[in-house]
Amino acid sequence: MAESTPDTSAIAARAVELIAPDTVVGLGTGRAATAFIHALGAKVRAGLQIRGLPTSEVSAVLAQKLGIPLVTFDDIDRIDVTVDGADEIDPNGDLIKGYGGALVREKIVAAYSRKFVVLAGAEKVVSVLGERGTLPVEVVSFALTPCRKHLEEMGYPSRPRMKDGQIVVTDNGNYILDCKTTAIIDPAETETKMLAIPGVVGTGLFVNMAHTIMVQAADGSVEVRCGSAT
């Protein structure tokens, strides 16, 4: 999904300050996460010893290019901290993610982390989830049509995500349905109902997951908030 590109360097720099030596760091996907990976790479080149676990192939390639050592779940007991972006943040600290297409891996990595830190520009702060009009839902390709029908019956008409005239395939080999949304009054219940649809792999709703949220204003100042997991 195309978006404007405000600067996120200030929150990336603040987030890097949270990274302790000899820790495992979850590496998010998207604009803010990319800024963080660049900042973390600079620290690694300066001598910081950490290991990273990426949420997408794109982030893995970038991290390797910047000299960040990577691990898989087979190599570790736990992720110490994950740093990622968000597409919507509500007053409770709940999120919508997935505009970058990595929602399932992002949720897996965040759930396996002792601390989940979210970075976003002020334009991502909303009064209620769904305000920006889109909720990504990842589905098995075989179930694309029945999933669309079930989601529409729930009140969420959707369309397959496309790029250059082709349907987008996630790193997991699945498709993404971008659901049209208004206000999502009960995100937890909405996710539960969506996950009950056969063929739905995951949703972009991240409820009670974020511990810390950093919001960068247009002037570069950073506000640190508590997430819904604290």
Q: Is 98 annotated as a binding residue?
A: yes
Among residues 3, 17, 57, 106, which one is catalytic?
A: 106
Q: How far apart are CA 125 and CA 153, in angstroms?
A: 28
Q: Is 85 annotated as a binding residue?
A: yes
Q: Is 133 annotated as a binding residue?
A: no
The DSSP annotation for 2-41 comes to -------HHHHHHHHTTPPTTEEEEE--SHHHHHHHHHHH
Other Cβ atoms closer than 10 A to 186: 11
Q: Is 202 annotated as a binding residue?
A: no
Structure tokens at 162: 């496309």
Q: Is 99 annotated as a binding residue?
A: yes
Q: Is 107 annotated as a binding residue?
A: no
Q: How far apart are CA 161 and CA 22, in angstroms?
A: 39
Q: Is 163 annotated as a binding residue?
A: no
Active site residue 138: no
Q: Write out the catalytic residue numbers.
A: 106
> Which residues participate in the annotated binding site?
84-87, 97-100, 124
> Which residues participate in the annotated binding site for substrate?
84-87, 97-100, 124
